[in-house]
Structures are given as structure tokens and as C-alpha cells.
Amino acid sequence: MAGHDFHMTPEGRYRVTSLASRDAVITTLGLFKGFAPIGSGDGLVFELVEGPEKGRLRIVPSHMIVSIDVLDPITPKAQPARVESETDRLYG
């Protein structure tokens, strides 16, 4: 995706693999809800979408992330084109 600007979109579906310990990883499958501060760092917030913890929020510390799979990014709605009016013009 060279040359493209990519952003995680709210309500997009992602699979995140992160470190659970030095020798183990944990997989989070969920809907991206945003970012949250954790101490001096930050984390990504997901609403879990399967299993017994479905509906629960999980914060994954950014520094623990190994990979993020984009499953369904949900394209943000495009902003309507701005229509220029007579009052928008400057004359000097």
C-alpha cells in the first residue's frame, strides 16, 4: 500500500495478535472502538465479537502488538462536496 494513507476506522473489524508473555501471544478479534491512554503509553480498544467474552471491551497496549489483520475496515462515509457560494469569494 505504498503511497496510501491508512487509518483504522471505528467499527472496523480487526484481528490483533499481541504478546501475552515472553513466550505466548493472544489473539483479539473485534470491532475497533478507538484509543485509550495506559500509563505513559496508549492502547487500542476493541469490542470482542466472539466467544464467552463477546461484547466485552479489551485494551491492547500498543507496544505489545505483533500484527494487525484488517478483516473489514468499514470505509468512512465521504463528506459531501462543498458548494462554493457568492459569499465565499474574496475580492481585493
3-class SS of residue 50 = coil
pLDDT tens, residue by residue, 26-67: 999 999 999 999 999 999 999 999 999 999 999 999 999 999
Nearest to 4 by CA among 73, 87, 58: 73
Cα 84 from chain centre: 33
Q: How deeply is 17 buried, as exposed, middle or buried, from its count of CB atoms within 10 A (0-12, 13-18, 19+)?
A: middle
- Stated pTM of the model: 0.75
Reading the block at residue 51, the C-alpha cell is 466467544
Q: Which domains does the chain have, with CATH numbers?
A: 1-70 (2.30.30)
Which position has the higher pLDDT, 90 or 37?
37
Nearest to 30 by CA among 14, 19, 52: 14
